[in-house]
Structure 1
Amino acid sequence: MLQFLQNNIWMVLIALTSGAMLFWSFFGNRLRGIQEVNSIAATQLINHKNALVLDVREQSEYDAGHILNSKLIPVGKLLERIGELEKYRDRPIVAVCRSGQRSASACTLLGKQGFAQVYNLNGGVMAWQKAGLPLEK
């Protein structure tokens, strides 16, 4: 076994690295304390709990199509514009981006700012469209 590891150290390291990356892609957001919702659960939060949809994409992406009544604050400006969200502190917030990566970062930031009901739309606007849900232009 030891001889095999010595002879194939690079292959072993590549396998371990890819396994760690796969693990992080599945469980990374959960480990960071981010609550994820799919498109159906997001619509339930919007319709039944009056959730705010926070779109953290850039203006051009938002203009190309966004979820109805969503509020645009690009993730890079979120900290400086956090005051705009104070009135939503007691409501659920569903953070949205194209694929779910930037919105996960936004969820982390909002959580650190004391927002307790923050959800990341898993798969972002791409998943929303795939579920056949409408976008507004």
Structure 2
Amino acid sequence: MQAYLQFVANNPIPFVALVFNVAMIVWVEFSRMTSGVKHLSAGEVVRLMNSDDAIVLDVRDDNEVREGMIGKPKHIPLSSLAKRLVELEKHRDKTVIAYCRSGNRSSQACRMLRKAGFEKVVNLRGGMLAWRDANLPVRKR
């Protein structure tokens, strides 16, 4: 134990950085677990799309959409989502599957939807990158 205390005393900056990083990881994981948003793999999303009356929400920017889409999504860029939530009101009772390029922006969109009262919200974990890695079909405009 004495050796650990001596190490911390001799290396305060790396130790503080370590504590900060661990705290951030715990915070992010706690937030993810308590957000009420499901984070599903591409395969799980396909099963959900086939078995549930779900709406697919693409939150990527316009230039990214040109690269291809999953199914026939409702396209609302994340930057416009707060202003355009009214467009999703008629789908409030359906499962909303959100995706972006890597899953980060769609995770933010899912949290926004949950705060707006949408109960069934799913994030495509890994986004379009995971979808393509799973060799799933992509539709061009």
Q: Same fold (TM over 0.5)?
A: yes
Displacement of 1:15: 2.2
Displacement of 1:19: 3.0
Structure 1 or 2, whichever has the larger Rg, is 2
Other-structure match for 2:11:
8
CA distance in 2, matches of 1:91, 1:132: 26
Displacement of 1:99: 0.6
CA distance in 1, matches of 2:81, 2:54: 18
CA distance in 1, matches of 2:37, 2:94: 16
| 1:86-101 map, 5 Å | 86-101=89-104
Displacement of 1:24: 5.2
Q: Pick from 59, 64, 75: which aligns with 2:62?
A: 59
If the length of structure 1 is used for normalisation, what is the TM-score?
0.90
Q: Pick from 38, 42, 48: which aligns with 2:45?
A: 42
Other-structure match for 1:83:
86
Q: Which runs of 5+ in 2 are unaligned?
A: none
Q: Pick from 124, 128, 131: which aligns with 1:128?
A: 131
Q: Which runs of 5+ in 1 are unaligned?
A: none
CA deviation profile, 1:32-71 (whole Å, cap 9, x unmatched): 3321111111111111102111000001101111111111
CA distance in 1, matches of 2:36, 2:52: 21
Choose 7-16 or 43-52, whichever is displaced more: 7-16
Pair 1:117-2:128 in alignment: no
For these two proteins, the number of residue pairs brought into alignment is: 137
Choose 114-123 or 33-42, whichever is displaced more: 33-42
Sequence identity percentage: 41
CA distance in 1, matches of 2:15, 2:124: 35
CA distance in 2, matches of 1:23, 1:103: 21
Q: Secondary structure at the match of 2:65?
A: helix
Aligned alpha-carbon RMSD (Å): 1.7
